[in-house]
Amino acid sequence: MRILLAEDDAILANGLSRALRDTGYVVDVVGDGELADTALSSQSCDLVILDLGLPRISGLDVLRRLRARHNSTPVIILTAGDSVDQRVQGLDLGADDYIAKPFSLSELQARVRALARRHSGFDQSKIQLGKLTYDQVSRSTYVDGELLELSAREISVLEVLINRAGRLVSKEQILDGLCEWGEEVSHNAIEVYIHRLRKKIETSGLSISTIRGLGYCLDKPKSE
């Protein structure tokens, strides 16, 4: 999952981005509202963590512009602990959740997971497809209750496919779930990850089809 973190406190932004990356998320960081608005106008992401006290363009204006473009990307707003009016205004403008500073990192991570589940259409923490179970909290994969040994990159690719099971997923969509700005992963590398995943999940009843020239599809079991 790709997250845009808009936070002007460099120390906080560095700590949050590092913690989220350690959990397995792809995190792009911007330090002011103008950069956040530009990024959201030109790039896709799965979730936004938005500080309201951004310089140049306020977080509320970034949110207002995002929703004016009919962009429904989930947004968690970060606010000062006493800014009740800003929290209310942010929610009224279309924010999905808020968290007041100072906050617990574990609480923020839980809110990120909850919004990610809701936005992907899976309300439960565990996704069951055939004999395969994917735990969105621990990012662990099981087949018939047995843990699959997957690399971090393989997990990220599988997560993208699972959240779009039964639908075409382009290589660009997979890359969006793997790479931060300035990081390069080749299309050949994607093919390697797909090849490895096919072999590892073959006993689950699931298969990954290649739609030549377009991308891949995680085929649901016929009973679903």
Considering the domain architecture, whether residues 74 and 131 belong to the same structural domain is answered as no
Considering the domain architecture, whether residues 137 and 191 belong to the same structural domain is answered as yes
Q: What CATH number is given to the structural domain containing 160?
A: 1.10.10.10
Considering the domain architecture, whether residues 135 and 188 belong to the same structural domain is answered as yes
Residue with tokens 């959740």: 97
Considering the domain architecture, whether residues 28 and 43 belong to the same structural domain is answered as yes
Considering the domain architecture, whether residues 88 and 139 belong to the same structural domain is answered as no
For residue 12, the enclosing domain spans 2-120
**Tokens of residue 46, six digits:** 């799965």
Q: In this predicted structure, what is the pLDDT of residue 122?
A: 57
- Domain final position from 100, 120, 140: 120
Question: Do residues 166 and 154 make contact, with C-beta atoms less than 8 angstroms apart?
Answer: no
- Asked whether residue 135 is domain-assigned, the answer is yes
Considering the domain architecture, whether residues 7 and 116 belong to the same structural domain is answered as yes
Quote the number of domains for the chain.
Answer: 2
Rounded to whole angstroms, how far apart are CA atoms 115 and 30? 21
pTM above 0.85, yes or no: no
- Domain final position from 54, 85, 120: 120
Considering the domain architecture, whether residues 28 and 108 belong to the same structural domain is answered as yes
Walking along the chain (224 residues) 10 residues at a time, the average pLDDT comes out as: 93 92 88 96 92 94 96 92 80 92 89 80 74 86 92 88 89 80 75 92 90 89 58
Task: Tell me the backbone φ, ψ of residue 212, rounded to 5 degrees.
Answer: -55, 130
Query: Which of 191, 187, 13, 169 has its CA nearest to residue 101?
Result: 13
